[in-house]
Chain A
Amino acid sequence: MTIKQTVLVCQGTGCVSGGSEQAFSLLKDEIQNSGHDEDILVKRTGCHGFCQQGPLIAIEPEGIFYTKVKMDDMPEIIQSLLPGGKALERLFYRDPATDKHIPYYHEISFYKKQERTILRYCGSIDPEDINDYLEIGGYKALRKAISEMTPEGVISEVKSSGLRGLGGAGFPTGRKWGSCRNAPGDVKYVICNADEGDPGAFQDRSVMEGNPHSVIEGMIIAAYAISAQKGFIYARAEYPLAVSRLKIAIEQARQEGFLGDNILASDFSFDLEIFQGAGAFVCGESTALVRSIEGKRGMPKVMPRPRTTEEGLWNKPTLLNNAKTFANIPLIINNGSEWFAQRGSEKSKGTAVFSLTGKVVNCGLIEVPLGAALRKIIYDIGGGVPGGKALKAVQTGGPSGGCLPADMLDMSVDFDSLIRAGSIMGSGGLVVMDEDTCMVDVARYFLDFNQRESCGQCIPCRLGTRQMFEILDDITKGEGRPGDIDLLFELSESIKRSSICGLGKTAPNPVLTTLRYFRDEYEAHIHEKRCPAGVCNIG
């Protein structure tokens, strides 16, 4: 017998919170009991992306897509899978614009308008089974790199792809690899930054939960390119599911000979360990992250200092990239740099994964080519703002980023355009805000976050962000003073100029962008003691 239907049950964190683990076990048992387990395969997968509609179940090969599945629906779902069964219309996705049921996921605009490359197999392979990854061509890129390419050849391929670091700063990946390879020393490390401390972002988590081997394969290729012997995945302890899937994946990769001594019978040896970040936003900063692995407080090193590629973990050259950056590597090696560079804008190649959340109809994990217009992301994929409300702003880059106003919707989303607009790309959080969101409250919210997360080492950040927070707190309480806006500008300027690390240098961004684009809201709070969005408790 051959498999006729594959039932893909999403086991991302969102769907698990809706009970998809129990749904998976029940489906698997019931199909087995029915004696149809030879032609119906029930499979656990990572995040399908459309978390808001979860728990999700997809049935291949047709692509039937069930949303908001509950345990009570299971008997009917099982019936529908058995011979003579009919698909369950009531569980289809209902398009809020047309009110029609859409049976197949590839016809839903949320999916139709995306270009999923990093996420392509999240949601269709079992993340806890290496054979699934091997079946889709997994570890082929590693084999190709080791047997057909020199380390320099790998680096030059990555360089010509134009890939830039997807952790936020957008530094050219190939150049980073090159300088780490050229750094003197025999002992080198590769670290995957999967700390994802930005509130409102879950794209790294979803990649690790959905396709952990793609990150691991990318890391092994990087290690081959720079001649590293040991690597770490620095993952947040708040992501227990991602950590457990990575552990399983590392163990399986070891058993298959992709990790350990003499990988694929070559003289290249490399092994990986998981380090669980204990919760500090500042550890996204490379020098702080490295100190944290060394068992110290995660406080960034003071400038001037050598780059981490020259002096990183235990003072050895260390290559640090984001999880999504590594996940791109096997694609580049397999398909070539030209294939990769077809997507994206002139200076930002490839795709970007965003966590699309907030006041938007379709929340979830999406992937688009870099350079896509904000409008496309929010309206074509996100379905616009719910409840007929007006869009007010889009926040990118988390606490280091900024809020862009609705009239900038045609802006292209890439590293450089966002910086010009006063925000940053960041790791990929994209939070939509509507007319009921108060921009002063949002600025206060981010400054509260930044002052809590300041490591306390340098005064501009430790005291400056605290001062800014207090001023904003007063304004939102209706206790703002006429000179407050000037004072916020002045503080922002000195914090940006004199903080020692990226956290401090970008901490004022949420205030600066809201002042730039929504100054009238600040003025209404200060002068008229009124919150135009009706969020702040004034009086």
Chain B
Amino acid sequence: MHEELLEQILASYKGEKEELVPILQEVQENFGYLPEKTMLEIARFIGVPESHVYSVASFYAQFRLLPLGRKRVAVCRGTACHIRGAPQILNTIEQTIGLKEGETSEDLEYTLETVACIGCCALAPCVRINKEVSGEMNPGKAEKIFITNGNGSHDDN
């Protein structure tokens, strides 16, 4: 099934070297990360050494070489968030879900990461879970999100 999906993705590209970053982005969007096999296929498809694909994939912050959890938790470490307490938010979340920055839980429920800036600085500090941003965090609020989350759906408001 993976092969088919990859084939479908590659079908919309011409196979040129400069398509590497967009291809990696689309593959990651579909697979959740960049499985080694797909990187080998991509190298063949655009006619570059496998090492080149790996060097590009490992250079940019966006790319993941390991599977991600279903809930991707990103704590913003932008400047505004930092001075308004992002380190404490990260700490709280680390303790609540039992993961350190960069780790994924064994059951693939959560991945905890930090991002350079979400761009929601006026609502600092911010946390993003998958595509949803929650602003004006404090440790108590952060803890609550994960306790609610663990029992079911994420409260939007």
Within 8 A of B (CB), among A353-369: 355-359, 363-365
B40 an interface residue at 8 Å Cβ cutoff? no
**A358 is contacted by which of B20, B21, B79, B157 (Cβ under 8 Å)?**
B79
Q: A200-B117, A278-B25, A363-B122 are in contact. Are A395 and B79 (CB under 8 A)?
A: yes
- Interchain CB contact under 8 A, B123 and A297: no
Which A residues are in CB contact (< 8 Å) with B77? 199, 449
| Contact between chains at A445 and B82 (CB < 8 Å) | yes
Contact of A199 among B18, B24, B59, B116 (CB under 8 A): B116
Beyond A238-B115, A298-B59, A395-B79, whether A17 also contacts B134 by CB under 8 A is: yes
Q: Does any Cβ of B come within 8 Å of A246's Cβ?
A: no
Of B18, B55, B126, B134, most buried by chain A (CB within 10 Å of CB) is B18
**B59-98 to A contact mask, C-beta < 8 Å, 1/0:** 1111100000000000001111111100000000000000
Q: Is A328 on the interface with B (CB-CB < 8 A)?
A: no
Q: Which residue of A lies closest to B59 (CB)?
A: A297
Is the Cβ of A200 less than 8 Å from the Cβ of B121?
yes
Asked if A414 is an interface residue, CB under 8 A from chain B, the answer is no
Bound together, the chains give a CA A294 to CA B124 distance in angstroms of 35
Q: Which residues of A contact B107 (CB under 8 A)?
A: none
Per-residue contact bits, chain A 267-311, to B (CB 8 Å; 1 contact, 0 not) = 000000001101111000000000011111111000000000000
**Which single residue of chain A is at the shortest CB-CB distance from B58?**
A297
B120 at the interface (CB under 8 A from A): yes
A295 and B56 form a contact (CB under 8 A): yes
Given A237-B62, A398-B79, decide whether A297 and B120 contact each other with a Cβ distance below 8 A.
Answer: no
Residue A219 lies at the interface, judged by CB distance under 8 Å to chain B? no
Evaluate contact between B78 and A280: CB separation under 8 angstroms: no
Give the contact-size bracket for chain A: 35 or more
Taking a contact as CB atoms closer than 8 A, the residue among A51, A205, A294, A359 that contacts B123 in the complex is: A51
Q: Are B133 and A17 in contact (CB under 8 A)?
A: yes
Complex CA–CA separation, A453 to B114 (angstroms): 14
Contact with A along B115-137 (1 / 0, CB 8 A): 11111111110100001111100
Q: Which of A70, A280, A299, A455 has the most CB of B within 10 A?
A: A280
Chain B count of residues within 8 A CB distance of the other chain = 43
Chain B min CB distance to A372 (Å): 19
Q: Contact partner of B120 among A17, A197, A442, A453, CB < 8 A? A: A17
Given A14-B122, A199-B78: A278 touches B61 (CB 8 Å cut-off) = yes
Does B17 touch A at the CB level, under 8 Å? yes
Question: Which of chain B's residues have a CB closer than 8 A to the CB of A132?
Answer: none
Chain B residues whose CB sits within 8 angstroms of the CB of A197 once the complex forms = 116-117
Q: Is the CB of A13 within 8 A of B133?
A: yes
- Contacting pair B83 A13 (CB below 8 A): no
Q: Is the CB of B121 within 8 A of A296?
A: no
Residues A201 and B135 in contact, CB atoms below 8 Å apart: no
**Contact: A359 with B83, CB < 8 Å?**
yes
Q: Which residues of A contact B118 (CB under 8 A)?
A: 13, 238
Query: Across the two chains, which residue of chain A brings its CB closest to B18?
Result: A295
Taking a contact as CB atoms under 8 Å apart, the answer to whether B79 and A238 are in contact is no
- CA A70 to CA B155, docked complex, whole Å: 14
Asked if residues B84 and A359 are in contact (CB atoms below 8 Å), the reply is: yes
* Chain A positions 16 through 52: 1 when the CB is less than 8 Å from some CB of chain B, otherwise 0: 1111001000000000000000000000000000111
A298-B55 Cα distance, complex, nearest whole Å: 11
| B133 / chain A contacts, CB cutoff of 8 Å | 13, 16-17
- Chain B residues whose CB sits within 8 angstroms of the CB of A294 once the complex forms: 17-18
How far is B84's CA from A52's CA once the two chains are assembled, in angstroms?
Answer: 14
Verify B124–A357 contact, CB threshold 8 A: yes
CB of A431 closer than 8 Å to a CB of B: yes
Of all A-B residue pairs in the complex, the 3 with the closest CB atoms, nearest first, are: A200-B79, A279-B61, A51-B122
A/B interface sample: 29 pairs, CB < 8 A: A13-B133, A14-B120, A14-B135, A51-B121, A51-B122, A51-B123, A52-B122, A54-B123, A197-B117, A199-B79, A200-B117, A200-B121, A202-B120, A238-B115, A238-B117, A238-B118, A240-B131, A275-B22, A278-B60, A278-B62, A293-B18, A295-B17, A295-B18, A298-B59, A355-B122, A358-B79, A358-B84, A359-B84, A395-B79
